[in-house]
Each structure stands twice: as structure tokens, then as C-alpha cells.
């Protein structure tokens, strides 16, 4: 592809920017109102080392994230929440999925999954984005319950839903009102969490 002048420079700059990965999304920064991004605008990382450590002085390769050896000065690249989030579906994908369930079934639908605090489109739990972040960074279902201050009975109910999915029991999902046309997507989503140790 031929490119000339300013158009060429803008195209190259866009390509380079697209290769820089902002891991701050794992924590919802930039997505949760009132929380600033951790990425320093003063320091740009090279495409081969796109992860900017907190403090903005060190960039590391994605290969060094969660490898058991700290590479950031504060060991942030080995943070449990970051490493859990790196294995989970992206926060944006989780939030979109939760929003689609709420749009299909109404603002109190997720109460059937997460308990009575999940009313009003998850507002008592901090909103859809807060629940998506908690699903992303909580290592286990118990951590998730603590992060959102769920009641023990609600955590146990959620655990039973995950166990049913793990055992192939779609009847439990149907009993929650999940339509046949949605079963595959819901099972796929819950399986992603199961495969990353959510029930451990």
C-alpha cells in the first residue's frame, strides 16, 4: 500500500497506537466513572514492551506478565487480581453480556443469579461495570461474594448454578428463566469463568 505525506504519518501513528495494550482495562479504569486511567500519557512503551508498570518508568513485554517473576519495580505485573483478570473474559465483554441479559429480561433479572442485591440493573452492587470488574478480578466465587458484599446464601446459590453448568445440567439455567436460544451463550460465559478457577 502506498501512502504519502501527512496521511502516511497518521496511518503509521494509528497502527503503532493500536499495538500498545492498556492493561488498566482489567481494573475498569477508564470505564468506571470517576476513576482515572493508570496509563501515563508522558511515557509511551514500544510495541515489543507494551505494558507500562505503575509509576511510568518501566515498560515490559506481555510475556513477562504473571510469569512468577516480578519485573515491575513494585511487582505489579504479578498482582493476583491482574493475573486473574488476564485469564478471564475482558471486562467489556462481561459487561456487554450482563447488559444483554438485563435488556432481554428486565432490570431485576440477575437477581435470580446473584441474589436480592442484584435488583435495578445491578445498581445496589455498584452497577454492571462494577460486577463485570469483580467477575474479572476475583480469583474465586468466594472472593467475588466478598468484593460485592453478597450474602452467604446468595454466594451458595451462585455456586450451585456454576456447579450445575460444570456438570452439564441445563435444567438449572432453564429454571432461572434463561431462554433456550440463550442457553448456549450463558453456558459458554459461565464455562469461561469455571475454566479459570472461579469455583476453586
124 and 141 co-located in one domain: yes
Q: Is residue 108 domain-resident? A: yes
Residue with cell 497506537: 17
Hey, is 120 helix, strand or coil? Answer: helix
* Domain boundary pick from 68, 87, 106: 87
63 and 96 co-located in one domain: no
71 and 106 co-located in one domain: no
185 and 133 co-located in one domain: yes
Of residues 40, 1, 3, the one with CA closest to residue 24? 40
* Domain boundary pick from 33, 60, 87: 87
Q: Is residue 10 domain-resident? A: no
116 and 178 co-located in one domain: yes
190 and 178 co-located in one domain: yes
Q: Is residue 42 domain-resident? A: yes
113 and 184 co-located in one domain: yes
* Domain boundary pick from 47, 65, 87: 87
Of residues 48, 57, 54, the one with CA closest to residue 20? 48
- Residue-wise pLDDT tens for the chain (200 aa)? 444 433 332 333 333 333 333 444 333 333 334 333 343 344 589 999 999 999 888 999 989 999 999 999 999 999 988 888 888 888 999 999 999 989 988 999 898 888 889 999 999 999 999 999 999 999 999 999 999 999 999 999 999 999 999 999 989 888 888 888 888 888 888 998 999 889 98
What is the extent of the structural domain holding 64? 16-87
Q: What is the pLDDT of residue 12?
A: 32
Rounded (5°) CA angle 175-176-178:
100
Q: How far apart are CA 121 and CA 199, in angstroms?
A: 24
Q: What is the pLDDT of residue 155?
A: 95
Give the DSSP H or E segment for 182.
helix 180-194
Q: What is the pLDDT of residue 154?
A: 94
100 and 54 co-located in one domain: no
Q: How far apart are CA 169 and CA 167, in angstroms?
A: 6
99 and 80 co-located in one domain: no
Residue with cell 436480592: 116
Q: What is the pLDDT of residue 85?
A: 86
What is the grid cell recorded at 77?
505485573
Beta carbons within 8 Å of 79's beta carbon, 6+ residues apart: none
Amino acid at each position: 500500500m502506498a501512502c504519502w505525506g501527512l496521511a502516511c504519518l497518521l496511518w503509521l501513528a494509528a497502527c503503532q497506537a493500536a499495538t500498545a495494550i492498556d492493561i488498566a482495562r482489567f481494573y475498569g479504569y477508564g470505564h468506571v466513572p470517576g476513576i482515572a486511567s493508570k496509563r501515563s500519557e508522558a511515557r509511551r512503551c514500544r510495541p515489543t514492551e507494551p505494558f507500562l508498570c505503575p509509576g511510568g518508568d518501566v515498560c515490559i513485554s506481555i510475556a513477562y506478565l504473571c510469569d512468577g517473576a516480578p519485573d515491575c519495580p513494585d511487582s505489579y505485573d504479578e498482582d493476583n487480581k491482574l493475573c486473574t483478570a488476564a485469564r478471564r473474559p475482558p471486562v467489556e465483554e462481561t459487561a456487554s453480556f450482563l447488559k444483554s441479559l438485563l435488556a432481554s429480561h428486565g432490570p431485576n433479572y440477575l437477581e435470580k443469579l446473584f441474589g436480592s442485591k442484584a435488583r435495578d440493573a445491578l445498581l445496589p452492587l455498584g452497577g454492571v461495570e462494577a460486577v463485570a470488574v469483580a467477575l474479572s478480578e476475583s480469583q474465586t466465587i468466594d472472593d467475588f461474594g466478598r468484593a460485592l458484599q453478597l450474602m452467604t446464601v446468595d454466594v451458595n446459590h451462585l455456586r450451585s448454578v456454576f456447579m450445575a453448568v460444570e456438570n452439564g445440567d441445563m435444567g438449572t439455567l432453564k429454571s432461572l428463566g434463561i431462554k433456550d436460544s440463550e442457553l448456549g451463550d450463558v453456558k459458554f460465559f459461565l464455562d469461561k469463568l469455571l475454566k479459570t478457577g472461579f469455583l476453586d
